[in-house]
């Protein structure tokens, strides 16, 4: 089972690495990170702040875009090229195919994030000319961005398991937007009454909440991020993405592929 | 087939268990973040104009979101009996920068701002600034003048400004007749009796609605009586200065040539001269608003 999963994951990673879209996005993200010092120069006394905000936001946003653009084709491409039938005719179970795809995309995203982080830190070192302990703390928002990718990859794969690539992209992006306003949705549920309250609360809990994962502002202002928040955010991201992947397996198992 | 069914059952069970787990984990996250989870007390982009450019043309949608945030910010602080609403004015400013025609943000937002703490932010000056911005952007919307007059009257006690707002708004197309009524009321409050009488007279002359006409008649009667009583009390004062005693009846004043005859109120009934030299009407029920003008002015 483990070998089958790792084989699918590795192939997914290889396929993603060959994708030109991926390189275009990484290049664009790196350019944006590198241009951050220019943004800072046209303002007053916020060079470092702008650099950190633009750099970290680029890593997070481009990671999500890559997750969506590669994730939407994970299942449909295999069906389109008829390679899925070859895979499933071997002793590979459908759930293994889905979980393998998930891990493959996650590896891709972690590698991308690592590359962008490297670019970010090189640019930071070049612009500030020194390394401080506060710079090390900027790894926390990058880690949270990876947790965000965990969830977004699972969500994209869920839509990809039953929908066309274009609709999967639209649905996944909509979930991402709603998730960034997760706190507002929760507050709305708190302020509502009657059936609206129940409906809003259920929606708020079923949809992902990316707000606690976005600590870029705090990190840029050098505000502390507690260890317990890191732990519970990790737990939340792992459990939620596992739940959504279980949903994908459930759909894909029942899907008629004839 | 049997294996697929087993996978389906396991996946469904996992889905339920993991979703429940994610809800519990999220509650832990919310518990940790506390108040921060409601609305951070920082505006990372404090400029509405900058946000408008960043919204790529979807500024109206963003304005709706910011308006929702303003309402939630106010609601959460109100529930906590907060004495500080620091972000309320900037949130409303950003909202109305993003969508200058979002009338509700001006109307309701200004009430949030103007009410005294803890019911509101206790910032009537900012409420006035917000409404004036709304009027600049929506000059034909008379409701904004009504709210402006309300804020001036209730929270700023600036009756002249309130009267001006109601009066200006009442001249706009579609303005409710009560705008004129309120303008007249403000004139009373502001101590300007002649303006109040003129405005109430205009309401009486320009309206056919029975209730409004009755109300205007009642106000006019009270205002005329107020003016008469002021004049009569001055006459009593003149009598006292010359005789060093207070008049017992109107005839005392008539005999000394200070009055030509017994003074009558607007309903035709003689005014009542009290032993302490003050003047009033015989039937107070016919002068519902009697004394209001004079007491507010004082």
DSSP for A16-44, written as a single string:
HHH-HHHHHHHHHHHHHHHHHHHHHHTSS
Compare all CA atoms of chain A with the CA of B79 and give the residue at the minimum distance.
A191
Residue B280's SS3 state is strand
Q: What is the DSSP letter of B35?
A: G
CATH number of domain containing B80: 1.25.40.10
Q: Would you tell me which residues 148-187 of chain A have a C-beta closer than 8 angstroms to some C-beta of chain B?
A: 181, 183-184, 186-187
* Inter-chain residue contact A188 with B68, CB threshold 8 Å: yes
Q: Does B230 lie in the same domain as B149?
A: no
Distance from CA of A51 to the nearest CA of B (A): 14
- The ipTM estimated for the assembled molecules is 0.71
B2: contact with A, CB 8 A cutoff = no
| Domain total of chain B | 2
DSSP H helical ranges for B138-209: 142-154, 159-170, 178-189, 193-206
pLDDT tens, chain A, 258 aa long: 677 888 888 888 888 777 766 676 777 777 777 776 666 555 555 567 777 877 888 888 888 998 898 888 888 877 777 777 777 777 778 888 889 999 999 998 998 888 888 888 888 887 777 778 778 889 999 999 999 999 999 999 999 888 888 999 999 999 998 898 888 788 778 777 788 889 988 998 899 999 888 888 778 777 788 889 999 999 999 999 999 999 999 998 887 766
B11: contact with A, CB 8 A cutoff = yes
Q: Is residue B66 part of a domain?
A: yes
Radius of gyration, CA atoms only, chain A? 20
* Inter-chain residue contact A243 with B14, CB threshold 8 Å: yes
* Inter-chain residue contact A239 with B25, CB threshold 8 Å: yes
Lowest-confidence region among A198-207, B109-118, B143-152: B109-118
Q: Does B233 lie in the same domain as B150?
A: no
| pLDDT over 90 (residue B67) | no
Q: Where along chain A do its domains lie?
A: 2-254
Q: Does B62 lie in the same domain as B161?
A: yes
Q: Is residue B17 part of a domain?
A: no
A94: contact with B, CB 8 A cutoff = yes
d(CA B200, CA B180): 8
Query: Among residues of chain B, what percentage have pLDDT more than 90?
Result: 21
Q: Does B69 lie in the same domain as B144?
A: yes
Q: Does B233 lie in the same domain as B167?
A: no
Choose the final residue of a domain: B174, B195, B213. B174
pLDDT in the model for residue B127? 96
Choose the final residue of a domain: B111, B140, B174. B174
* Inter-chain residue contact B42 with A94, CB threshold 8 Å: no
Q: Would you tell me which residues 34-73 of chain B have a C-beta closer than 8 angstroms to some C-beta of chain A?
A: 37-40, 42, 44, 65, 68-69, 72
Instruction: Enter the tokens of residue B285.
Output: 């029920």
Q: What is the pTM of this model?
A: 0.59
Instruction: Report yes or no: B163 and B195 within 8 Å, Cβ to Cβ.
Output: yes
Instruction: Report yes or no: A102 and A243 within 8 Å, Cβ to Cβ.
Output: no
Q: Which of B113, B96, B91 is nearest to B42 (CA)?
A: B91
* Inter-chain residue contact B7 with A209, CB threshold 8 Å: no
Indicate the pLDDT class of residue B72, thresholds 50, 70 and 90: confident
User: What number of other Cβ atoms are within 10 A of residue A232's Cβ?
Assistant: 21
Q: Is residue B105 part of a domain?
A: yes
Preferred mutation among A236, A254, A255 to probe B, highest tally of B CBs within 10 A: A236
Preferred mutation among B5, B9, B25 to probe A, highest tally of A CBs within 10 A: B25
Preferred mutation among A102, A191, A220 to probe B, highest tally of B CBs within 10 A: A191
Q: Domain range spanning residue B152? A: 45-174
Q: Is residue B264 part of a domain?
A: yes
Q: Is residue B97 part of a domain?
A: yes
Q: CB-CB: which of B19, B42, B75 is closest to A243?
A: B19
d(CA A154, CA B22): 14
pLDDT in the model for residue B172? 93
d(CA B65, CA A38): 31
* Inter-chain residue contact B28 with A249, CB threshold 8 Å: no
d(CA B27, CA A209): 11
Distance from CA of B57 to the nearest CA of A (A): 17
Q: Does B164 lie in the same domain as B229?
A: no
């Amino acid at each position: 089972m483990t070998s089958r999963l790792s084989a699918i994951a590795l192939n997914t990673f290889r396929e993603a690495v060959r994708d030109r879209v991926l390189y275009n996005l990484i290049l664009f993200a790196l350019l944006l990170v590198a241009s951050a010092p220019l943004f800072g120069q046209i303002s007053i006394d916020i060079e470092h702040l702008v650099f950190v905000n633009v750099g970290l936001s680029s890593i997070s946003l481009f990671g999500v875009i890559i997750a969506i653009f590669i994730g939407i084709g994970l299942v449909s491409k295999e069906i389109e090229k008829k390679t899925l039938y070859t895979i499933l005719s071997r002793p590979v179970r459908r759930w293994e195919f889905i979980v393998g795809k998930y891990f493959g995309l996650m590896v891709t995203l972690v590698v991308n994030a690592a590359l962008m982080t490297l670019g970010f830190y090189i640019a930071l070192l070049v612009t500030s000319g020194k390394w401080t302990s506060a710079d090390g703390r900027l790894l926390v928002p990058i880690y949270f961005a990876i947790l965000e990718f965990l969830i977004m990859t699972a969500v994209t794969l869920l839509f990809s398991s039953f929908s066309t690539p274009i609709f999967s992209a639209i649905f996944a992006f909509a979930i991402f937007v709603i998730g960034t306003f997760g706190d507002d949705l929760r507050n709305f549920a708190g302020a509502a009454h009657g059936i609206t309250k129940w409906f809003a609360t259920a929606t708020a809990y079923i949809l992902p909440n990316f707000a606690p994962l976005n600590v870029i502002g705090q990190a840029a202002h050098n505000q502390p991020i507690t260890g317990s928040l890191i732990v519970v955010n990790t737990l939340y991201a792992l459990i939620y993405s596992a739940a959504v992947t279980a949903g994908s397996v459930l759909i894909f198992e029942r899907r008629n592929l004839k | 087939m049997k294996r697929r069914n087993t996978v389906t059952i396991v996946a469904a069970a996992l889905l339920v268990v993991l979703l429940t787990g994610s809800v519990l984990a999220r509650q832990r996250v919310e518990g940790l973040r506390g108040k921060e989870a409601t609305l951070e007390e920082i505006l990372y982009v404090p400029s509405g104009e900058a946000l408008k450019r960043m919204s790529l043309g979807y500024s109206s949608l963003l304005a709706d979101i910011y308006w929702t945030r303003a309402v939630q910010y106010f609601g959460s602080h109100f529930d906590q009996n907060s004495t500080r609403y620091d972000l309320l004015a900037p949130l409303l400013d950003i909202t109305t920068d993003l969508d200058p025609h979002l009338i509700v943000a001006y109307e309701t937002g200004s009430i949030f701002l103007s009410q005294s703490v803890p019911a509101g932010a206790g910032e009537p000056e900012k409420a006035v600034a917000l409404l004036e911005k709304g009027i600049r952007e929506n000059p034909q919307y008379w409701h904004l003048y009504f709210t402006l007059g309300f804020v001036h009257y209730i929270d700023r006690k600036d009756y002249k400004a309130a009267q001006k707002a109601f009066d200006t708004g009442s001249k706009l197309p579609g303005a409710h007749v009560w705008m004129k009524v309120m303008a007249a009321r403000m004139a009373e409050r502001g101590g300007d009796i002649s303006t109040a009488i003129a405005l109430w007279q205009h309401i009486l002359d320009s309206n056919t609605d029975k209730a409004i006409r009755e109300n205007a008649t009642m106000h006019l009667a009270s205002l005329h009586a107020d003016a008469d009583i002021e004049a009569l009390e001055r006459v009593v004062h003149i009598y006292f200065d010359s005789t060093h005693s207070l008049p017992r009846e109107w005839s005392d004043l008539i005999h000394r040539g200070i009055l030509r005859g017994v003074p009558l109120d607007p309903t035709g009934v003689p005014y009542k001269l009290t032993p302490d030299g003050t003047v009033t009407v015989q039937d107070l029920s016919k002068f519902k608003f009697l004394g209001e003008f004079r007491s507010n002015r004082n």
